[in-house]
């Protein structure tokens, strides 16, 4: 099984970025944990982070050619703005889980709407880095 883990803008700053909101783990810490978990299940994780909307769209398109079975996506702020990322996910038809480290619903109102949630298999918010692990476990079992 091939799982693509996509992270959007500013998530490269994890570890130092508002640690009270996003925790102390770096993206590399999180991704290493996911890699180990995938290995244990004989699966393969592919990782991609971009601060650019088009880069994320391109990577989603590539996922189809690569035979990716499942996508985990934290689109960061693009969650709340990007019809293009929504359309890309719909366009490739790969099932996905939306992950947010913070509980977006107890933050500013502009974070309460997501362009992705109604087409996701599931949405995980507020569980910190564990949300990615939970999402990967689900993907590996589905």
111 is in an annotated binding site: yes
**Minimum CB distance to ligand DQA smaller for 25 or for 74:** 74
Minimal distance, residue 52 CB to ligand DQA, in Å: 14
Contact positions vs ligand DQA (CB under 6 A): 10, 74, 76-77, 79, 100-102, 104, 111
Task: Return the closest-CA partner of residue 56 out of 24, 18, 10.
Answer: 10
Minimal distance, residue 40 CB to ligand DQA, in Å: 25
Burial of 81 (0-12, 13-18, 19+ CB in 10 A): middle
**Minimum CB distance to ligand DQA smaller for 77 or for 84:** 77
**Minimum CB distance to ligand DQA smaller for 43 or for 127:** 127
Residues 6+ apart with CB under 8 A from 53: 78, 82, 84, 85
Using left for φ > 0, alpha for ψ between -120 and 50, and beta otherwise, residue 54 falls in: alpha
Minimal distance, residue 77 CB to ligand DQA, in Å: 4
Structural Rg of the chain based on CA atoms:
14
29 is in an annotated binding site: no
Of 22, 78, 115, 132, catalytic: 22
Does 22 participate in catalysis according to the annotation?
A: yes
Tokens representing residue 93 in the block: 């038809």
Of 78, 100, 115, 132, catalytic: 100
12 is in an annotated binding site: no
Does 100 participate in catalysis according to the annotation?
A: yes
C-alpha pair distances (Å), 94 with each of 18, 69, 131, 139: 32, 6, 19, 11
| Residues tagged active-site | 22, 100
């Amino acid at each position: 099984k091939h799982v693509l883990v996509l992270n959007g803008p500013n998530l490269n700053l994890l570890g130092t970025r508002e640690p009270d909101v996003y925790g102390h783990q770096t993206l590399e810490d999180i991704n290493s944990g996911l890699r180990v978990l995938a290995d244990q299940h004989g699966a393969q994780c592919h990782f991609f982070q971009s601060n650019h909307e088009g880069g994320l769209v391109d990577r989603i398109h590539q996922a189809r050619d690569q035979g990716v079975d499942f996508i985990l996506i934290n689109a960061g702020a693009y969650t709340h703005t990007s019809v293009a990322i929504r359309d890309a996910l719909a366009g490739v038809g790969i099932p996905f889980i939306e992950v947010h480290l913070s509980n977006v619903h107890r933050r500013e109102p502009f974070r309460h709407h997501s362009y992705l949630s109604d087409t996701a298999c599931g949405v995980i918010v507020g569980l910190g880095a564990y949300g990615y692990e939970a999402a990967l476990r689900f993907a590996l079992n589905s």
